[in-house]
Chain A
Amino acid sequence: MKFGIGQPVGRLEDRRFVTGRGRFLDDLRIDGALHLAVVRSPVAHARIRSVDVTAAEAVEGVVAVVTAERMDPEGRMHIPCLVPLKNRDGSRRADPPRPVLARDRVRHAGEAVAFVVAESRAAAEAAAEAVAVDWEELPAVVDPARADAAAVTLHEAAPRNVAFDWHFGDEAAVAEAFARAAHVTRLELVNNRVVPCAMEPRACLAHPEEGTGRLVVWVPSQGVWLHRQLLARLLGLPEARIRVRTPDVGGGFGMKIFVYPEYVMVAWAAHTLGRPVRWTAGRGESFLADTHGRGHVTVAELAFDADARMLAYRVRVRADMGAYLSNYAPFIPTLAALKVLTGVYRIPAVSYGVLGVFTNTQPVDAYRGAGRPESIYALERLVDVAARELGLPPEELRRRNMIAPEEMPYRTAAGETYDSGEFVRLMEACMTRADWAGAAARREEARRRGRLRGIGMAYYIEATMGDAEERARVRFLEDGTVEVAVGTQSTGQGHETAYAQILAERLGVPPERVRVVQGDTDVMEEGGGTGGSRSLTAEGTALLEAAARVIEKGRLAAAHHFEAAVDDVVFADGVFRVRGTDREIALLELARLVASWRERPAGLESGLDADAEITLSAYSYPNGCHIAEVEVDPETGTVDLVRYTVVDDFGVVLNPLLVAGQVHGGIAQGVGQALLEHAVFDPDWGQLLTGSFADYALPRADRLPFVDFSYIEIPCRHNPLGVKGCGEAGSIGAPPAVVNAVMDALAPLGIRHLDMPLTPARVRAAVAAAGG
């Protein structure tokens, strides 16, 4: 079957995007919509002495100027953090309030203190400029490594700026193992803070719904349900009074999961004024008001026995939370990172401690990979450094410690049960494709050209699932369309195609008849959204279940129609047949027929339409090997990524074309983090110095090579499709592979470790310091 599972099907959604007919949030048009502009703090930390809106209110076209006092006189509108987390002493994490509008204090540059609603965007922006705030500036806490020792605290509810002090593992067992270790490798490293930078800036449009009076809120989300829940809570409305919708989304990468203050402002303004209100972030606002990612300062130690086998792993992280706890922020460096803390290795004992700290910077939350890139980066860097110290090739140290296929299912010291994986096989396959054996000759050839060439590998494992529950609903429409409502949200992954592939194969219907519906709380009452590479594992399973129910109903209907026994009706290739007869009917024809029946037998009251709700029993564990090869120009410090090879195990691959796209994009983000990207703050005053695309270096086409991507399918045992999830993998494997390659290039100079991003300035300084 050309369209079935495993085929590189071209995307059904492409035509609208290549012809300019995609519909992103800022493309929506509603007559008479008012424009909202946000008044933001120009400083990172300050007391607000007063806010004067007189001049702003006098600007022509202004409808309302709203401060915290006006919007929320009782001080109740706080955006909650939804993650419960216990400190190591059993107490609960700090929970300082995060107001929609700052009242008496701002805690990061860009924090909202007021907003203006006006007839035009120009008027709204002019009036926002005219709001006069009297600031009493305070020293800023910027460096997460020293935040808990800072003289200033951000929140009364968080002494020493500590959001949480969390620990997992057996400290005593780890200490004992370290005491008897033949070798210990220790590394201090920074997982640089980065900005997600979806190309579509965030936006929001809210309006009263004609006829019902409900509030309709459009947001570029990764799932509408969280937004409905929190907007209802903050506005004090029943959830039934709010409908949340999401149109085409121009990239999310985790950052568009969350509920942001601007959405509450827009929704509140539309509700209060009874008129449509819209807001679209400029890129500068995106840098100041989107969540950032990563931001870890880590000390990691790995203990080995005399045979270079891993005995124990101790990791201490200071995780930057920014000024407030975003919706899921504390989960990322703790429980999410923990899942793959031990990577693909047999490590009998772990001790993992995370100190979450507040700084006067934008809130930090999930960004592609969310905790797992941080864990894998630390471990895979450590393994490379250890190999050098132990005098072993890096692949040999990995091989010696990798969990073998016959050990599956394998329970790790971090508490995960890996179901499947053939790590040595994939590593060797990747080494072959990357011509690992030929690297020495290429290094020598480069040396003659005055260039330092290096090769590096990383073996990542990921844990995917997110919300274990998911739903699907299949409806047969009168015009012959099979409509599938889902609880996930595509932000570019190609769900319209992938889901159609599953249904087209299972139901034997033409794919062009399948229409995927997403992004509307009226269509699906609940859903888990897209995040954690869960869409195919969770939604795919729900689609299979829904398809199975359609087929069961179809057998019932066909039996009724042909006056045969249900047990005699079989289904194959989209057709129901009565065994031993020539009676048969196609699924879509049967659906139409059943819809026309005035009286329907029990079980067919809703025709062949079917709903499914599933709960996944366990996580899936995509894994794979990345090999990067780089050339460093010692005179300029420039790093050229000259070759990139990746072999992944994503379980069963539904659509190789889409999977390759995910891998390419993830690698580009990982390479960006390794070589280019860095959210840099003024160390004293907390200003984001990289607040535009002119300063924040996203990878461009000329900084990246083609990627040699291939995969080996080792089916997941935890879901019926056998899929493992591929969305985040690239961004997990790439940073350690690239840094390992650069460190390999610089090893002859005696350079042991450099922190990301490996910018020309940083590399050149290290080379110079090493006498190069």
Chain B
Amino acid sequence: MPRVVMRVNGKEVSGEVEPRTLLVEFLREHLGLTGTHVGCDTSQCGCCVVHLDGRSVKSCTVLAVQCEGAEVLTIEGLARNGELHPIQRAFHECHGLQCGFCTPGMIMSALELLQRHPAPTEPQVRAWLEGNLCRCTGYHNIVRAILQAAEEMRQAPRPAA
């Protein structure tokens, strides 16, 4: 079986994987990072979004072996020293989550949106979330949370990792 080495949440990790192993399986089954969820089998739901070299990807659509040498950020790596990222905090403050299953993917997706567009409009936020399904919130408070986080991040930019 091929051996794969990558950095996940700032730490070098490695594992022997079958070639067909998906990144999400590697994260969940090999590394025990179960915050990244699997909600479908057709790359529609977005519960498994992580960052791969700074871009959001659906980790059900990437093979683990494709991530050789890559930098992966998952929901577990977003808070620093116990302090929540502004997006995580905004999801809490705006009640942007209910069951919490889609939440990690939503937050990781929103992270790239705000990195690219620090001041998105409401329609931009809604359009960006086309790859993330939520069945609980009607998106109302998710959109509010992302807009609030954008505001906060503009006022107090976080130092790069």
A residues lining the B interface (CB < 8 Å): 10-11, 13-24, 26-27, 29, 122, 197-201, 248-251, 253, 282-284, 491-494, 657-658, 660-661, 664-669, 692-694, 698-702, 704, 706-707, 730
Segment touching A, from B51-59, B99-107, B152-160: B99-107
Contact B136 A693 (CB under 8 A): no
Our count of residue pairs bridging A and B at CB distance below 8 angstroms stands at 183
0/1 interface trace, chain B 98-120, chain A, CB 8 Å (1 if under):
11111110010000000000000
What's the nearest-Cβ distance from chain B to residue A703, in Å? 8
Looking at B75, B100, B130, which has the most chain A CB atoms within 10 Å of its CB? Answer: B100
Contact B40 A661 (CB under 8 A): no
B residues lining the A interface (CB < 8 Å): 18, 28, 32-42, 44-45, 47, 74-76, 78-79, 84, 88, 91-93, 95, 97-104, 107, 122-123, 125-127, 129-130, 132-144
Contact A19 B79 (CB under 8 A): yes
* B100 contact set on A, CB distance < 8 A: 13-14, 16-18, 22, 248, 250, 492
* B88 contact set on A, CB distance < 8 A: 18-19
Contact A665 B84 (CB under 8 A): no
Give the CA-CA distance A282 to B33 in the complex, in Å: 19
* A198 contact set on B, CB distance < 8 A: 99, 101, 135
Answer whether A701 and B129 are a contact pair too, CB < 8 Å, given A22-B35, A200-B101. yes
* B136 contact set on A, CB distance < 8 A: 199, 251, 492, 661, 665
Contact A18 B107 (CB under 8 A): yes
What's the nearest-Cβ distance from chain B to residue A728, in Å? 13
User: Can you offer 24 A-B residue contacts whose CB atoms are under 8 A?
Assistant: A10-B92, A13-B100, A14-B92, A15-B92, A18-B104, A20-B74, A20-B104, A22-B100, A26-B37, A198-B99, A198-B101, A199-B37, A248-B99, A250-B39, A251-B98, A494-B98, A660-B140, A661-B98, A666-B138, A692-B44, A701-B129, A704-B138, A704-B139, A730-B138
Contact A17 B93 (CB under 8 A): no
Which partner residue on chain A sits nearest B127 by CB separation?
A: A702
* B126 contact set on A, CB distance < 8 A: 701-702, 704
Q: Which of A19, A27, A494, A692 contacts B84 (CB 8 A)?
A: A19
Contact A20 B33 (CB under 8 A): yes
Give the CA-CA distance A660 to B140 in the complex, in Å: 10
Contact A199 B39 (CB under 8 A): yes
What's the nearest-Cβ distance from chain A to residue B37, in Å? 7
Given contacts A20-B76, A666-B138, A692-B41, 18 further A-B contacts (CB under 8 A): A10-B92, A18-B100, A19-B75, A19-B79, A22-B101, A248-B100, A251-B98, A251-B135, A251-B136, A283-B40, A283-B42, A661-B95, A668-B137, A692-B42, A700-B130, A701-B139, A701-B143, A704-B139
Contact B125 A701 (CB under 8 A): yes
* A658 contact set on B, CB distance < 8 A: 95
Contact A284 B137 (CB under 8 A): no
Contact A14 B97 (CB under 8 A): yes
Contact B138 A21 (CB under 8 A): no
* B144 contact set on A, CB distance < 8 A: 706
What's the nearest-Cβ distance from chain A to residue B19, in Å? 12
